[in-house]
Structure 1
Amino acid sequence: MQDSGAVLVLTNPYDVTADLVLRLLADRRVPVVRLDPGTDLHAGASLTATYHADGQQGTLRTASREIDTTRIHSVWVRRPSPYLGPSGLSDQDRRFAAEQALWGAGGIIASLPEAHYMNHPWHNRAAESKPAQLSTAQRCGFPVPSTVITNDPDEARTFAAHQPGGVVYKPLWNTTYRVDGQPHSVWVREVGANDITDAVAVCPHAFQARVSKEFDARVTAVGGQLFAVRIDSPDIDWRRRQDLMTCTSIDVPEPIAHAAVAYLAEFGLVYGAFDFAVTAEGVWYFLECNPNGQWAWQPVDTTKAIAHAITEQLAKGPGT
């Protein structure tokens, strides 16, 4: 393949959302290499980096491509599989292989000379921290609901008792969890002071003042472009039963738009999926920003616009 100005897409083979952008890149005849480093690198793919006095060189080989890594001008960190190590090894050896892959292959991919990242994996990691999100959101001018993060049950109960509109619990990380062997999601849910037990002491928990919201809003940011939808759902957490929600396009108030751009700049992000609870008075309360949130579930026109914006970012490369 002609590898000048190529785009490296890091995602798993089942990511149909990525396919929307890959088709647009193909229409523009932009060379693309698709890689799932957590699995492909122990299934025949190889990645090599050489560092010497003249600079850095490298080669990426997959089942269908071979590319000089210095020719990669954009990297889309989409939905790659975690680095788990090859099956068939002992637990200890598999953990060793997985960590070497994360820091070795992951480090190479995160250090490509002059590449434009959307988003850089290290920036993604920093921006996934809920405490960092809340702190940054406040600095950037977003309204933020009163929140406590604690492993002290008494502190949690005291906080809950002093919130006149009630409190919700939300996990700090989307940890894989199973009940009776079946995948189980931990949704945002309402709790009272009497619901908070001493089990809170096991680990930090996040409790947040419940916003009396008129609707939810998702703002998808790609560079300086913002795409917003209003979400109407009967649930506190609209993700729980998406078949019951409705989405319509909506404008973003100018102060929220300015805060969103400032927030992305603070974390060094090109892409971010912001969630807000919007009151009847028009106050947009910041809930979180997923630096790699899904976007293809939105109305068709919004999804198409986001796909084109992402394509434009990747096709332009450095300097965008």
Structure 2
Amino acid sequence: MTSPDPVLVVSRVDDATADVVIEELNRRQVPVVRLDPGDFPVDVSVVARLGVPGLRGSLRTPTRTAFLDEVRSVYWRRPRPYTASPGMSEQDAHWCREEARYGLGGVLASLPGAHYVNHPWRNRDAEYKPAQLAVAARCGFDVPPTLLTNEQSAAREFASEHGPVVYKPLRGTDYQDAAGRALTVWVEEVDPAGLDSGVGHTAHLFQKRVPSVADLRVTAVGEEIFTVRISGSPGTDWRRHYDALSYSLVDTPAHLATCVRRYLDAFGLVFGAFDFGVDRDGRVWWYECNPNGQFAWFPEPITGRMVRAVADRLQHGGGRLDH
């Protein structure tokens, strides 16, 4: 099946946020081609010709075809890692995966005229937490005192000066136990006595704990900003306590909205999911920005507004829908 001017959704199968956006695009009768680079080369093929007219050719899945110069928008979500054909030696497979990353990946990042939400290279740049923190401070956010180190003595000194302190992973890297079960590294308060020689094994991010009374998840889609106040978390990391949480859509403070737009512009992002803590004095503290954050877990009245905003961007190639 060939779809004229489709939206290309780049993601894995088990992506609930991509699912609800695709459902909205289907409701609007906007053609969609869903593609996971992790299916290449077995179930995805590419033919790309580059010359004087520019990039031309096609992407094919088992059920869809997208012509490279006709893709109106790209919704870059959470694709699986690149793979290689079965039966290869590890060295050959590694070489093929890297060729796929720079070949197919380069094509997907270079579609002429397509509007990206977000461009994969902008996502990549904005995922580095040290860069996030530095840019956030320049954009006017209140950033808690933070230390990144692999020195035990520096970590202990920081904890002594700024305690209580939390540890935050620098990336959501896949992690498994000896039995192959997936593990999650949560944001946790640090016991200074536990800061042993293990600190020296890699880079660690420590941050002064905000005495928060609530959290804010601020989801920005272009010029539209949705601020959700999250209440009821009994622990440091509210993601561990979904059943205890309540959500309310609130007005975005003007200063916060200004800082959010500065931040998006600094990284070249269209979409960002920002997390903040609110202390007892009402001061809003920066935590992080996930350039590719989820939002399908909110109650439908909240999720629905975000879905429509994302679908508007994808349907109209960055332009605004006239209501």
Q: How does 1:173-188 map to 2 (within 5 A)?
A: 173-181=171-179, 182-188=181-187
C-alpha distance in structure 2 between counterparts of 1:88 and 1:112, whole Å: 32
* Contact 1:169–1:190 (Cα < 8 Å) also in 2: yes
Give the superposition deviation at 1:245: 2.0
Deviation sequence 1:45-94 (CA, Å, 0-9, x none): 21121111232212111111223210001000012111133333222122
Identity over the aligned pairs, expressed in percent? 46
Q: Deviations over 1:177-208 (max 9, x none)?
A: 12232211110101132221121111110000
TM-score (norm 2): 0.95
User: Equivalences for 1:213-228 in 2 at 5 Å?
Assistant: 213-228=212-227
Match in the other structure for 2:27: 27
Which residue in 2 is equivalent to 1:171? 169
Once the two structures are TM-superposed, the CA of residue 2 in structure 1 deviates from its matched residue by: 6.1
C-alpha distance in 2 between matches for 1:224 and 1:319: 11
Q: Which runs of 5+ in 2 are unaligned?
A: none
Match of 2:160 in 1: 161
Q: Which amino acid aligns with 1:308?
A: R
Give the TM-score of the pair, scaled to structure 1.
0.95
CA distance in 2, matches of 1:225, 1:54: 36
Q: Is the 8 A contact 1:2 1:31 kept in 2?
A: no
Assess if the C-alpha contact under 8 Å between 1:10 and 1:78 holds in 2.
Answer: yes
User: Which whole-Å CA distance do the structure 1 matches of 2:120 and 2:90 have between them?
Assistant: 26
CA distance in 2, matches of 1:295, 1:252: 17
CA distance in structure 2 between the aligned counterparts of 1:152 and 1:16, rounded to whole angstroms = 40
Aligned residues: 318
Q: 1:212 Cα deviation (Å)? A: 0.6
For residue 249 of structure 1, report the CA deviation from its aligned partner.
Answer: 1.8
1:56 alignment counterpart:
55
Name the aligned partner's letter for residue 15 of structure 2.
Answer: D
One-letter amino acid matched to 1:73: R
Q: What pairs with 1:116-265 in structure 2 (closer than 5 Å)?
A: 116-164=115-163, 166-181=164-179, 182-232=181-231, 233-265=233-265
Partner of 1:316: 316
Please give the alpha-carbon distance, in whole angstroms, between the structure 1 residues aligned to 2:66 and 2:197. Answer: 55
Do the aligned partners of 1:167 and 1:210 also contact (CA within 8 Å) in 2? yes
Runs of 4+ residues deviating >6 angstroms: none
How far apart in 2 are the matches of 1:305 and 1:46? 35
Could you say which residue in structure 1 is the equivalent of 2:5? 5
Q: Please state how far the C-alpha of 1:253 moved relative to its aligned partner.
A: 1.2
Kindly report the root-mean-square deviation, in angstroms, between the aligned alpha carbons of the 2 structures. 1.4
Unaligned 5+ residue runs, structure 1?
none
Residues 167 and 187 of structure 2 are in contact (CA less than 8 Å); yes or no, is this contact kept in structure 1? yes
* Distance in 2 separating the partners of 1:205 and 1:260: 26
How far has the Cα of 1:227 moved from its partner? 1.1
Aligned 8 A contact 1:187 1:237 in 2: yes
Partner of 1:273: 273
Distance 1:184 1:86 in 2: 28
